Amino acid sequence: MSLFVIYFLIVSAFFFGFLYLIRNKPKRRISEILDRKDKDTINSEEVVSSIEKIYRKTSKSVSFFEYLDSNTLLKFCIVIVIALIIFLLGALGIVTMGKDTQAIAIGAVLVLMILVPPRIKGIIMKSKTRKVNVDLPYVIDIMAICVQSGMTIENALIYISKNIVFINSDIASLLERTAIKIEVSGISSALEQLYEEVPSAEVRMFCTTLQQSITYGSSIAPVLVELTKEMREMQLLAVEEKVASLSAKMAAPMILFYYVSNPGNCCRSGIY
């Protein structure tokens, strides 16, 4: 077993060392490597990283899995610790595992440490984006009230960004970032940045509505009220689609459970 442990440690050290060198290899300038088409891909990656920064600010789980995904040394330490625990449990006789079983278990841990953190981070980010879509109509209602009370769009965005943390901290961070951008480069540029950063249809509808109101000078309050109605109708249609597809998804499990609970029917129907 000692030789197997040494072999595993050597292979793991080489693997993680190679991965660490690849990730920290000095990069050349983008202009020397990539052509004009590849710059669009880099810009999209920068957009994703910007929304990730906002989610890291408001969510400890996103920041943790991002840190775990980017820290190769931490992954290596976790795999080594788990491997040592497995070997100690086998050596003390607490868990009876053969060498092949131990190797499979350690390999599974290694694969999980590489693949699971980015997957979990992506799932959390998608759930937070869905939460933004659900809560955005309430924020737009508040903005419509602010505009009706005499505030400008800029002042309404700044006021809302400071007072909606209790509703949704992600929307508050997005609007706070937009308010800072408004003070620096104007509302049109800030709305364009918000439109590009957030992969959400509701947020893009909101940005487009504000830009059209600023461009054509139309009254914004009634338009915002209609926009919230459209967003809620979209969310209701999405829920109805899920409910309608539920019966089709449940058909196969119900048939399976029926035949499992009544094996005599399976024999008569010729399944077995």
Average per-residue pLDDT for the chain: 76
40-49, 59-68, 243-252: the lowest-pLDDT one: 40-49
Q: How confident is the model at residue 107 (pLDDT cuts 50, 70, 90)?
A: confident
Quote the pTM value: 0.66
End of a domain among 129, 150, 176? Answer: 129
Q: What share of the chain is helix, strand, coil (3-state, %, to 5)?
A: 85, 0, 15
Query: What's residue 42's pLDDT?
Result: 41
Is 267 domain-assigned? no
Is 228 domain-assigned? yes
Residues 89 and 187 in one domain: no
Average pLDDT over residues 240-263: 77
pLDDT in tens, 138-189: 888 988 898 888 888 888 888 888 888 888 888 888 888 888 888 888 888 8
* Structural domain for 94, as ranges: 2-129
Q: How confident is the model at residue 36 (pLDDT cuts 50, 70, 90)?
A: very low
What is the number of other CB atoms lying within 10 angstroms of the CB of residue 207? 21
Q: How confident is the model at residue 10 (pLDDT cuts 50, 70, 90)?
A: low
Query: What's residue 29's pLDDT?
Result: 42
Share of the chain above pLDDT 90, in %: 0
Query: What's residue 31's pLDDT?
Result: 43
Q: Cα separation of 46 and 43, whole Å?
A: 5
Residues 116 and 83 in one domain: yes
Query: What's residue 254's pLDDT?
Result: 79
Is 246 domain-assigned? no
SS in 3 state form for 28-63?
Answer: CCHHHHCCHHHHHHHHHHHHHHHHHHHHHHHCHHHH
Is 256 domain-assigned? no
DSSP symbol at 199: -
pLDDT in tens, 108-143: 888 888 888 888 888 888 888 888 888 888 888 988
Residues 55 and 125 in one domain: yes
Residues 12 and 97 in one domain: yes
From the list 106, 111, 76, 75, the residue with the least C-alpha distance to 89 is 106
Is 49 domain-assigned? yes
The number of distinct structural domains making up the chain is: 2
Is 67 domain-assigned? yes
Residues 109 and 180 in one domain: no
Residue 267 has pLDDT above 60, yes or no: no
Residues 153 and 76 in one domain: no
Residues 167 and 115 in one domain: no
Share of the chain above pLDDT 70, in %: 77
Query: What's residue 6's pLDDT?
Result: 58
Residues 80 and 143 in one domain: no
End of a domain among 82, 110, 129? Answer: 129
Residues 9 and 122 in one domain: yes
Is 94 domain-assigned? yes
Is 255 domain-assigned? no
